[in-house]
Copies of this chain bind each other. A is one copy, B any other.
């Protein structure tokens, strides 16, 4: 198991053992992530944070991760300030950026762009989301949150809820959970069901998959993973309203669930989860957001070879 110099493009690039090792390192990072302990592990290292598409959450947590470990950050948060506007190719932008840093974190609207960047860069590239493609650090922090919340990943029943068709994060997460032998329930409106290939792959990996269109019965669910249903997916705004309303999680929903079911959400949320849930012990979505810091610290330290 060697991480130094590796790219982090897709969760599929990692074995189960490697994923567990990343989560173990992340757990050790917790006191530093919380600011309780100081670290100079990445002193003198520079991370280039290349956001060709805005993203508060991913960008800020990567930058916090780097800075908590004593490292420096350069970069941009919007494509408007880059030479790509002058017609420069992504390959050249990447080869330029890597001259200035030790590791690249990038987000790009185009699927496959992170893989391409990794091909050109000698320094490690971490994919912070490439359009409809991958978002491996989100997947890792989701797994980390399940493990922190339920003690372990395997043995839980995880329900993925919302837009399962277009939602970038849920496809990778389904794969990763299947890797850990986790049974899943896919709950979505008919128009936004999990793509057949994903369902089939999970079943081939040996896990039970149930498919549902409502949230009437959550009695077997240990982890409820909620995602945003985007208005833009519906031609008729009335239809959107009806659908969105019927998937909204509130205190009524909790009555149909196990007492210790945890509720996750990659955020930002709009109306999918009622604010009355925020203060319940079931809600872990703000912890989940925080978990992005230790997980990204672990990845940065690992690919930079500062930790094994």
Asked if A290 lies at the interface with its beta carbon under 8 angstroms from chain B, I say yes
Residue of B nearest to A39 (CB): B44
Q: A64-B101, A78-B81 are in contact. Are A95 and B35 (CB under 8 A)?
A: no
Residue of B nearest to A48 (CB): B60
* A 75-101 contacts with B by CB, 8 A: 75-78, 80-83, 85-88, 91-93, 95-97, 99-101
A74 to B64, CA, bound (A): 7
> Provided the pairs A44-B38, A99-B61 are in contact, do residues A72 and B67 lie with their beta carbons within 8 angstroms?
yes
Q: Is A57 an interface residue (CB 8 A)?
A: yes
Q: Does A269 contact B (CB under 8 A)?
A: yes
- Distance (whole angstroms) from the CB of A199 to the closest CB of chain B: 28
Within 8 Å by CB of A67, from B46, B76, B80, B270, lies: B46
Pick the residue among B44, B86, B267 that contacts A88 (CB under 8 A): B267
Which residues in window 53-81 of A have CB below 8 A to B? 54-57, 59-61, 63-64, 67-68, 70, 72-78, 80-81
A135 CB to nearest chain B CB (Å): 15
Cβ of A56: which chain B residues have Cβ within 8 Å of it?
76, 81-83, 93, 96-97
Whole-angstrom distance between the alpha carbons of A83 and B101 in the complex? 27
Least Cβ distance of A118 to chain B in Å? 17
A window 134-179: CB within 8 A of B: none
- CB–CB B46/A88 < 8 A: no
Given A77-B76, A78-B80, A100-B61; A87-B45 close (CB under 8 Å): no
**What is the size, in residues, of chain A's interface with B at 8 Å between Cβ atoms?**
56
Contacts of A75 in B (CB 8 A): 60
- Give the Cβ gap from A52 to chain B, nearest Cβ, in Å: 11
Contact of A96 among B38, B67, B267 (CB under 8 A): B267
Known contacts A80-B54, A97-B60, A100-B61: A92-B293 contact under CB 8 Å: no
B residues less than 8 Å from A64 (CB atoms)? 46, 72, 74, 100-101
Interchain Cβ contacts under 8 Å between A and B, 14 examples = A35-B46, A38-B43, A39-B44, A46-B64, A51-B81, A56-B76, A56-B82, A57-B83, A57-B96, A61-B100, A63-B74, A88-B268, A92-B267, A92-B269
Top 9 nearest A-B pairs (CB, nearest first) are A67-B72, A88-B268, A99-B290, A38-B44, A64-B100, A54-B81, A83-B268, A87-B270, A63-B74
Extra 8 A-B pairs, beta carbons < 8 Å, given A51-B81, A88-B267, A96-B267: A38-B43, A38-B44, A46-B68, A54-B85, A64-B74, A83-B267, A95-B286, A99-B290
